[in-house]
Structure 1
Amino acid sequence: MPNFSDGAASESDSVVTNAGRRLTRLYILALSTVALLSLGAQWLIQWQLGAGESDSRVINVAGRQRMLSQRLAKAALRIDSRDLTMSAFADDPHTQEELSETLGEWSDSHLALQHGDKSVGLPGNSSAEIERLFAKIEPHYNLMREAAEELIGDSDTLARSAAVATIQEHEREFLSGMDAIVTQFVAEAERRVSQLRRLEYAILALTLLVLLAEGLIVFRPAVNRIERTVERLASLSQRLQAAKEQAERASTAKTRFLANVSHELRTPMTAVLGMTELARGTDDSVERDNYLAIVEEAGECLLGLLNDLIDIARIDADRLTLKIDTFDPLSPVSRTIRLMSRAAEDNQITLQSIEPEVPPPLLLGDQERLVQVLLNLTSNAIKATARGGVEIRCSGTPIDTHSFRLTYEVIDSGIGIAEVDRERIFETFTQVETADGSRSGGAGLGLAICRRIIDAMGGEIQLKSELNHGTRVTFAVTLPIAPAKVIRSPSQNPSSPSRPLNLLVVEDTEVNQVLLRKSLEKAGHRVTLTDDGESACEAYMLDRFDAVIIDLQLPGIDGAETANHLRKISLAAGEGPPPMVCLTAYAEPTIASSHALTFDAYLTKPIRREVLLATLDDFTFQAAGIRRIEDIDPDLLAELTEVFLATAPALIHELKVAVDAGDRGKTGVLSHKLLGQLPYFDAAELLNSVQKLESAASRHDTELSVLPADIWSEFDDLLSKLRASASMPSKN
């Protein structure tokens, strides 16, 4: 069932909360901006109304000033009339009062237009052009004003006539100037109105832009987030429903599995117990042998079931290991034919293999796991086939010079598989019913194991079937091509080489140095030991060697680079380089593939003496996983123990310091050194811990702190045990 962790949910909720807060802040900011713009627009409108009223007053006063100048001129004309004698004027207070009032209003208006008058709402902030126009008419204004004052005073007839003439003379210029001033006032007022209107349009456009941005930045993401949340909730609901259904199916499958396992265990156990009892009760040797054969067959059935259970448990715990070895791709087919031919004969069907026209090259992979997959598929095919036969085909295609795509097919003419069962059949504890409603037997683990083995190899498995027309199961894996020199079985007498060889051994670990030197010298070979690439090159230039054995991971220049340097030295001397054998604690096939052109053979630690000697005899290839060496000479083991006790404590201390400091590079190098030494001693758990530590050091997404907490105490226990076995006092 899928695990919807609280941590993931909490992180998702935090992201949603932060996004919501951000959208809320943006929404408030947008609303505030719109409000400020609206307030600004209202203020602008009010200011515009005030400015409009002020402009209207100015224009009205300016027009009235023109009218007052005309009234002043008319009053002066009446005074100059022939019908109005001086004595009559003096006795006409109305005319004198009118002239005086007109002159006062005219003078006040003239000053207010220029300098402002708050009592009548005139601002007095005239533009430079207005001031220029007023300055232009100022002389006329002054002369007219002085003439009017002369008329109002007690002057004689001639003086008054002259004053009237002065007013009439300058009235036209004054009126013309006032017309220009009024026109300028109107133009400036219209210009201000136009500017204010443009500003209003700008505020309106800015408001619309803010609203548009609010829609794009706030509302649209909010709507999209709501839609995604709804979709996520719907998806989560679907996943929960699917998980519930899957859990229910798993529960049903496990219940059926327990019933199947119980049945599968009881059936052969019944045979074992029954036949054992019968064998004890008979004196006929032939009859007893038949009973025991049945017991053996039942035992093999039990063993197969237990192996399947162990395999599925290992796979579920990610502990499935692949043993990498050189193999012929046709070998799994021939082995499967040989092992399943009896079952095919009992079912009265044919079982045959179809080999490719061009044999595939030798490859690096786990042959036993491939045989296990083929046996499972072939067994199922034989059970499902009542007429016809079963074919096993092998083919492949080179991908490049280092890798090969290997394909196997198991084809039967049986009852076929319904479409609804074709994917489900690869699930654990699953069996498919036949047409008559029966099941094929077994615990329902075989095909699940097949798929997971192929997945572990990085391959893929496919099933094509049609009811009543048979089934074709195809699986393909990509594997490295083995180096040119292929391995043969170790010689029956590895201690007797075909001829003594002069060997250069480049190994930086003291334990492995002793092991290699003793093993090779005991076989009659001459050994020169160096512990790094530089000293190896120096020794290589001083002697001729029949072969070179090089550890892949060396201090300074590594093993591959050292091998290339040695080849260059030979080529510079006009000689062909000797065969070079690679030693490493890595068991991955990619290591062998990547160095296939550098080395002539490839061996993994721990070093088995018979394989090493067989390799030197004909440079065969073998890659094996790290495991303990048990068949080692006691005297050699004692010497290895002594060397290990002398060198390991300092190495372990350096490793601990590197781990505490988080130094991945040094941790990887030191772990690799220990991996080359520990397999010679009884320390399986410690070896596994060091392997995990080396893996963590090589992966930047894994903390070094994932190593087992008791690894250092395991080192102490091993050292104490070795000191006790060597009768050495423990050192604190």
Structure 2
Amino acid sequence: MEITKQVIETNPNPVYVKNELGKFVLANSAYAALHDLSVEELLSHGASNLDYSHERDLEILASGETAKAEEYYRLKNGGKIWYQTTKMPLKQQNGVNYLLSISTDITEWKEALQAATESVKGKETFLANMTNEIVTPINAIIGMARLVKKGFLNKAQEEYLNIILSIADNLLCMPNNILDYERINAGALGMEFIPFNVSSTVRDTVRALGQSANEQGLELNCHETTENIPIVEGDPFRLSQILINLIKNAIKFTKKGDITVSTEVAARSSKSITLEFCVKDTGIGMTAEKFESLLRSFNQENSNTPPLFAGTGLGLTICKSLIESQGGRIWVESEPGRGSRFYFQIPFLISEKAIFEEAEPPANNNLKGLNLLLVEDNQVNQLLTVSQLEECDVNVDVALDGEDALSKTREKAYDLILMDIQMPVLDGIVATSRIRKEYNLNNNTPIVAFTANAHKIDLGQYKSAGFTDYLLKPYNKTNLFLTISKYTGQLLKRKPVTRGKFNMDARPAALYDFSGLGDLANDAAFIRKMQQLFIDTVPGQLGELHEAIQQQDWDQVVYIAHRLKSTFGNIKITAAADALKKMESVARSGNELHQIEELFKEVSQATEKVLHVFSDLLQQTA
């Protein structure tokens, strides 16, 4: 035993042992010194006022499972020291449990990582500035070229303009590709793991690039598998990025013909699915050896490639890294002069929501008569969610903010609460936490978080606050119904409704899209309500946003942009929704604030077009 104590005491890394009550029974000088105490003082007093690990240690003792974490301590000289700490329960033969904590100094590694991260941030700042300097004039060139194309042109002039547009479009991709490549090299390119609809992601991506293909005289098609693809867990943004790079590559290397994007199921089990994507073109083609060489060295396919088709291969390299980081692979089938077929496979876990959807639920139940509380400050979102729930004969109360939600939950018991996250007065996280902690009729009611920030989901924070689950906005209506059904134990059974048919062909496809609203997209009365509400609310909110920008009230900019982002996203006014998302991010970070005016201009222009079309359609149906 004496040798054991000597080994522990001479260990330069902190070590301690606690009993089942969380009291120190053994520690070495390295650990005691972190609290500026001797070992004797630590053991006698317990350092209770300094031991921030006390609650966590008790949890580990209770669970009986080993845990690892990074910890840091602030030294007297103002410096920090980082440790990788392992904590493990030790069960004795007499049934008594102890907790052993062993730490390893990783300060040097953390400092090196921080230096590398700061280097990456410096590069990102430089590249972001460069991107802005490049994007502004190139967008002007693209805009003027498109204006010229509307005039009377001969065949040669139209071809020259198409070349200008192609070159300009390729130049716009370069800064972002370089930035992503630097992030990949630094290991700083994060991946999301959220439920999403693969078919919708592919379809929306192809639709977004349709104009670029048409300007080059190409036809861009989307072929969907006849097999059902369930909701999966993964990163929809990276999947879209991979497809964008491959489709733009196909547009660049295809002089005439068509490009087809397809999705097939390569393998499937009860819990996972492997999807195979293909981008097929009728372009100049390449050999498999050249493809591998391109990925390795960024060399052009060959020195005889015309300047129009010149490229670094950086986009393909980024695709390969993104695919492999998700456990997938990429390959090409191609021949020079006969087009290319770029294939890639990615395995996904099937979302629990999808598994639940396919399960056989108990019979003779439905959602009729359920009492739900919707906590949402956005009027458009209110109209959409309430209208969808009314299809199932659900009783819905609406609270305008977290404080209103607290008041309503004290007066009435609900079967489920749908809680927006970002709201005025009291946000959804604080409101949910208070519902769980204070005396309330809904202490144990399932609460589902509504959030439009896919990149900012903190599951740990949601769980700590008391949320049961979450849904991303804009959400799929099926996911909404499945979530309600899952946490109330009720089977979906929507009532039949008779609706006037809304003419989907009456609206410009590129401007907005109601198809994501499901059955409601064909409900003429509902669509008119949505259009009128957009006309009544959005201009005023844009006015508030512009005023906040002028006053440089960035917190208010974040709040209003977040609200509007959801409104535009619901009806797929994509360009404006993307601009608002970018504006929210810029205002939140405080970097590149000069971009906000241009982003606001982009949102305003899109809004004016939609307002004009909505007003005309409402007059026609009046």
Indicate the structure with greater helix content: 1
State the TM-score, normalizing by the size of structure 2.
Answer: 0.42
Is the strand fraction higher in 1 or 2? 2
Which structure carries more relative contact order (alpha carbon 8 Å, separation 6+)?
A: 1
Normalization by structure 1: what TM-score? 0.36
